[in-house]
């Protein structure tokens, strides 16, 4: 997979040449000059989806001096830097702007703002003089913000997506002593380590064009709006080799209308913005606890008290993220930096460890502010990266199995350290992909608590010495108690999951083996150093309650349908459209639970593959079609409960017994989950979150059919163009048995 640490010069040159040759193909595909079909035609891709073994075109090409050992990928140079020599930056807080209707200019509107602007002729399909709408949201009533007037936004976030630049406005939300001494006034160039080269303008694209990654602070009962400006290059070729300049922003498992979900086919162009409306209601808002009587269904009131809100408190969510969902280009764009996190606060999880009101869990956080104290509540985003001999980020392996970087970054800093006090900390750990799994342990094997899985606090805390495999897009909230270490002590977060390729974890290493440095996978071992630097100034008042949020009880709700989704290889395509359909090899077979014989289909966002009824409860079986790969499957919009893993609830580990939005299938595995579809409607998605599998067509669209107004059935497919989104009827609609209607 990767070259050994000190390869011979000849071997390194051979591998670098192979990578350079491949980059031409990666680039041509990223800007749409060639398709996968072209590559198949030219014989560069095999039926199984991997690049053929043609000299210079494959990272695993047979080496000139070893017949059977693959050449491997050149390791990312470290420019003489050592690990754990730079502080880990805390996330960069997005400003919470009050009064969005006045703050945002032009003011946000219920339906998309179709005010025309002159288009830049560098945009695809545009000639001088063409005009198009300033907002890229599909126009008209179907894509209008659902229940806009009822949930007018109270907070606005305004962000750009743009190329790399220096951050001069860093706001970590905590004093430097809680940020390893980083002075936020010091400009931050876009680099993974101060001793590495700075990233070029169009090598990295992030929120506001800067690092550290961004954090949005939201709370229930406070509707928000995210205005996202696309400031990426007009010319699709200005991408330094990978990444697509059209984007769609998915708030990962927010319970919001489809027009705000970052649908993969509702992407927008450079020069446009898109307003995403986030109402932040508890699921069940319109059917459960509608009179807002239950104090557990609540939100911080700003002065130490609670405001009760409608909905089911068992659906309260906490740790979110948002990221690009561009059709066929999600892996490139998220890898390039289109990733942010979002902490959702509530009466239960308010980010204040001192308020005793019988509702607040008092998880490690801080106490100075009413809610969202961050001193001891730390977001961590894990992302494996690779860079070339000039230190520039590369998206290297043109391989549909998945992409692995050889270097682990935390908060986009290469192997940093973080100063902690002798007390409890909460870490909200996100795996941002693109393809690697992590199994996390402390380097001394000491136990810690897992309190959350995905966006949700668990029914019960779980004491662990190692986590399960953290799949791409999954989040684990853990609590580590550093009071067990002396001042001056050090301990490291360590990855035990060894990969050979992007398909699955090859081996779970014993802690000693992961620490030994002997693994051929440079991604295992220590990746974050904790330095215990002092005693806390104030006593640690935080708690780690044994019991937190039990699952909502759906047992009284009849099951309206059972469906099967099988995730596998060798997908067929029935729709041939250059914009809305993709090609495999990955795909999904859809059907009734006992349905047999339907074909595995590659993604097309103009196909509707399932239509659960609004308010209904369903049971879905997610099945891995093979034993040679793992898939972390993400179902948008609804939190699910795992009823069975491989035929029995006894196989569901404690840390997976809460609500989930990403479901790891494991090789050959099968899950049965249940969900209820409510409150909002429209077109959503389900896909593998190994983003390379997702982009190579393991994705489908499903829709909530509410049987009437305000939605048409099935919804027309948006087809975005710079001049404006057009619509057409879905190319294909599958019935409950998985067969085309």
Q: How many CB atoms lie within 10 A of CB 92?
A: 24
Give the span between the Cα atoms of 561 and 592, in whole angstroms. 8
Given the complex with Cu ion, which of 165 and 636 has the nearer CB atom? 636
Among 129, 99, 134, which Cα is nearest to 114's?
Answer: 134
Give the span between the Cα atoms of 268 and 719, in whole angstroms. 10
Q: What's the CA dihedral at 485, 491, 497, 498 to 10 degrees?
A: -150
Cβ 330 to Cu ion, closest distance in Å?
12
Give the span between the Cα atoms of 482 and 277, in whole angstroms. 39
In the window 131-150, what residues touch Cu ion (CB under 5 A)?
none
* Part in contact with Cu ion (CB under 5 A); list of ranges 227-235, 304-312, 669-677, 689-697: 689-697
Site string for Cu ion, 214-233 (x = CB under 5 A): --------------------
Q: Which of 412, 688, 699, 700 binds Cu ion (CB under 5 A)?
A: 688
Given the complex with Cu ion, which of 428 and 631 has the nearer CB atom? 631
| Count, residues near Cu ion per rule CB under 5 A | 4
Given the complex with Cu ion, which of 495 and 690 has the nearer CB atom? 690
Cβ 660 to Cu ion, closest distance in Å?
16
- Beta strand 559-568 with 525-534: parallel, antiparallel or unpaired? unpaired
The reply to whether 624 sits near Cu ion by the rule CB under 5 A is no
Given the complex with Cu ion, which of 252 and 631 has the nearer CB atom? 631
Cβ 635 to Cu ion, closest distance in Å?
14
Give the span between the Cα atoms of 368 and 427, in whole angstroms. 19
Give the span between the Cα atoms of 384 and 403, in whole angstroms. 9
Give the span between the Cα atoms of 1 and 279, in whole angstroms. 45
Given the complex with Cu ion, which of 165 and 569 has the nearer CB atom? 569
Cβ 576 to Cu ion, closest distance in Å?
23
The reply to whether 690 sits near Cu ion by the rule CB under 5 A is yes
Cβ 698 to Cu ion, closest distance in Å?
5
Contact 344, 456 (CB under 8 A): no
Among 86, 96, 97, 93, which Cα is nearest to 170's?
Answer: 93
Contact 138, 114 (CB under 8 A): no
Is the link from the previous residue into 434 a cis peptide, with omega within 30 of 0? yes
Given the complex with Cu ion, which of 243 and 502 has the nearer CB atom? 502
Cβ 509 to Cu ion, closest distance in Å?
22
Contact 205, 240 (CB under 8 A): no
- Beta strand 448-453 with 475-481: parallel, antiparallel or unpaired? antiparallel
Give the span between the Cα atoms of 298 and 300, in whole angstroms. 7
Cβ 546 to Cu ion, closest distance in Å?
35
Alpha helices by DSSP H, listed for 508-651, are: 511-516
Given the complex with Cu ion, which of 206 and 435 has the nearer CB atom? 435
What's the DSSP call for residue 640?
B
Cβ 473 to Cu ion, closest distance in Å?
11
In the window 492-511, what residues touch Cu ion (CB under 5 A)?
none
Quick check: helix, strand or coil at residue 712? coil
Cβ 393 to Cu ion, closest distance in Å?
23
* Part in contact with Cu ion (CB under 5 A); list of ranges 155-163, 231-239, 415-423, 688-696: 688-696
Q: Which of 693, 706, 720, 736 binds Cu ion (CB under 5 A)?
A: 693
Give the span between the Cα atoms of 321 and 511, in whole angstroms. 30
Given the complex with Cu ion, which of 419 and 686 has the nearer CB atom? 686
The reply to whether 475 sits near Cu ion by the rule CB under 5 A is no
Given the complex with Cu ion, which of 499 and 631 has the nearer CB atom? 631
* Part in contact with Cu ion (CB under 5 A); list of ranges 61-69, 208-216, 434-442, 690-698: 690-698
* Part in contact with Cu ion (CB under 5 A); list of ranges 65-73, 127-135, 681-689, 710-718: 681-689
Given the complex with Cu ion, which of 75 and 664 has the nearer CB atom? 664
Give the span between the Cα atoms of 584 and 600, in whole angstroms. 10
Cβ 633 to Cu ion, closest distance in Å?
8
Q: How many CB atoms lie within 10 A of CB 176?
A: 14
Cβ 506 to Cu ion, closest distance in Å?
16
Given the complex with Cu ion, which of 18 and 331 has the nearer CB atom? 331
Given the complex with Cu ion, which of 219 and 631 has the nearer CB atom? 631
Given the complex with Cu ion, which of 264 and 690 has the nearer CB atom? 690
What are the angstrom distances between the C-alpha of 736 and each of 78, 440, 613, 616, 622? Answer: 53, 40, 11, 14, 15
* Part in contact with Cu ion (CB under 5 A); list of ranges 177-185, 386-394, 612-620, 682-690: 682-690
For 226, the token pair is 């995210």
Q: How far is CA 99 from the centre of its chain?
A: 29
Quick check: helix, strand or coil at residue 471? coil
* Part in contact with Cu ion (CB under 5 A); list of ranges 384-392, 594-602, 630-638, 649-657: 630-638
Cβ 51 to Cu ion, closest distance in Å?
18
Given the complex with Cu ion, which of 688 and 715 has the nearer CB atom? 688
Give the span between the Cα atoms of 428 and 431, in whole angstroms. 10
DSSP-assigned beta bridge partners for residue 272: none
First to last CA, the chain: 45
Contact 684, 249 (CB under 8 A): no
* Part in contact with Cu ion (CB under 5 A); list of ranges 138-146, 372-380, 382-390, 629-637: 629-637
Q: Which of 631, 664, 678, 696 binds Cu ion (CB under 5 A)?
A: 631
Cβ 587 to Cu ion, closest distance in Å?
11
Q: What's the CA dihedral at 44, 48, 49, 52 to 10 degrees?
A: -30
Given the complex with Cu ion, which of 590 and 690 has the nearer CB atom? 690
Q: How many CB atoms lie within 10 A of CB 734?
A: 21
Cβ 586 to Cu ion, closest distance in Å?
6
Cβ 694 to Cu ion, closest distance in Å?
7
Give the span between the Cα atoms of 669 and 9, in whole angstroms. 43
In the window 244-283, what residues touch Cu ion (CB under 5 A)?
none
List of residues contacting Cu ion (CB under 5 A):
631, 688, 690, 693
């Amino acid at each position: 997979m990767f070259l050994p640490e000190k390869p011979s010069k000849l071997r390194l040159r051979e591998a670098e040449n192979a990578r350079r040759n491949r980059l031409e193909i990666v680039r041509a595909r990223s800007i749409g000059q060639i398709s996968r079909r072209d590559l198949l035609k030219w014989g560069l891709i095999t039926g199984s989806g991997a690049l053929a073994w043609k000299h210079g075109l494959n990272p695993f090409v047979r080496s000139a001096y070893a017949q059977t050992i693959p050449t491997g990928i050149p390791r990312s140079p470290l420019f003489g830097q050592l690990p754990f020599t730079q502080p880990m930056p805390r996330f960069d807080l997005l400003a919470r702007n009050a009064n969005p209707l006045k703050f945002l200019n032009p003011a946000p509107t219920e339906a998309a703002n179709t005010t025309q602007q002159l288009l830049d002729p560098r945009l695809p399909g545009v000639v001088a003089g063409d005009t198009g709408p300033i907002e890229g949201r599909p126009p008209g009533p179907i894509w209008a913000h659902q229940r806009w007037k009822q949930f007018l936004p109270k907070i606005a976030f305004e962000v750009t997506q743009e190329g790399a630049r220096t951050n001069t406005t860093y706001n970590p939300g905590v004093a430097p002593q809680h940020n390893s001494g980083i002075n936020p006034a010091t400009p931050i160039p876009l680099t993974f380590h101060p001793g590495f080269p700075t990233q070029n303008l169009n090598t990295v694209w992030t929120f506001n064009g800067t690092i550290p990654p961004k954090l949005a602070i939201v709370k229930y009962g406070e509707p928000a709006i995210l205005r996202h400006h696309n400031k990426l290059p007009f010319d699709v070729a200005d991408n330094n080799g990978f990444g697509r300049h059209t984007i769609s922003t998915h708030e990962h498992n927010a319970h919001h209308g489809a027009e705000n979900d970052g649908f993969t086919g509702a992407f927008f162009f450079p020069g446009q913005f898109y307003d995403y409306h986030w109402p932040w209601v508890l699921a069940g808002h319109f059917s459960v606890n509608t009179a807002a009587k239950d104090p557990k269904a609540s939100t911080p009131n700003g002065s130490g008290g609670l405001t009760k809100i409608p909905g089911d408190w068992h659906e309260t969510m906490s740790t979110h993220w948002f990221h690009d969902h561009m059709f066929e280009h999600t892996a490139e764009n998220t890898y390039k930096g289109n990733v942010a996190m979002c902490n959702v606060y509530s009466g239960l999880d308010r980010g204040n460890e001192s308020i005793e009101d019988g509702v607040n869990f008092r998880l490690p956080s801080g106490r100075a502010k009413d809610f969202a104290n961050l001193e001891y509540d730390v977001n961590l985003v894990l992302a494996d990266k690779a860079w070339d001999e000039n230190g520039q980020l590369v998206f290297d392996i043109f391989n549909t199995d998945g992409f692995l970087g050889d270097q682990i970054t935390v908060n986009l800093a290469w192997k940093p350290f973080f100063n902690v006090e002798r007390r409890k900390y909460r870490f909200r750990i996100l795996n941002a992909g693109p393809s690697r799994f992590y199994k996390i342990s402390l380097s001394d094997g000491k136990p810690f608590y897992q309190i959350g899985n995905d966006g949700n606090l668990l029914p019960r805390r779980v004491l662990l010495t190692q986590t399960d495999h953290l799949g791409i897009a999954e989040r684990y909230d853990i609590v580590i108690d550093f009071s067990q270490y002396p001042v001056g002590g050090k301990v490291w977060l360590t990855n035990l999951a060894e990969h050979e390729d992007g398909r699955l974890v090859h081996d779970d290493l014993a802690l000693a083996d992961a620490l030994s440095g002997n693994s051929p996978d440079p991604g295992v071992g220590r990746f974050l150093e904790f330095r215990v630097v002092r005693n806390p100034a104030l006593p640690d008042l935080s708690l780690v309650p044994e019991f937190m949020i039990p699952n909502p009880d759906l047992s009284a709700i009849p099951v309206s349908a059972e469906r099967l989704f099988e995730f596998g290889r060798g997908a067929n395509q029935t729709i041939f459209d250059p914009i809305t359909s993709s090609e495999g090899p990955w795909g999904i077979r859809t059907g009734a639970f006992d349905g047999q014989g339907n074909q595995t289909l590659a993604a097309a966002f103009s196909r509707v593959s399932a239509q659960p009824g609004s308010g209904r409860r369903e049971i879905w079986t997610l099945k891995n079609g093979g034993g040679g790969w793992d898939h972390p499957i993400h179902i948008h919009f609804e939190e699910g409960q795992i009823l069975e893993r491989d035929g029995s609830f006894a196989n569901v580990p404690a840390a997976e017994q809460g609500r989930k939005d990403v479901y790891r299938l494991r090789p050959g595995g099968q899950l049965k989950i249940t969900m209820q579809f409510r409150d909002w409607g429209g077109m959503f998605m389900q896909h593998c979150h190994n983003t390379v599998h997702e982009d190579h067509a393991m994705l489908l669209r499903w829709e909530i059919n509410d049987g009437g107004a305000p939605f048409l059935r099935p919804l027309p497919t948006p087809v975005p163009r710079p001049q404006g989104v057009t619509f057409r009827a879905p190319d294909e609609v599958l019935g409950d048995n998985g067969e085309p209607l």
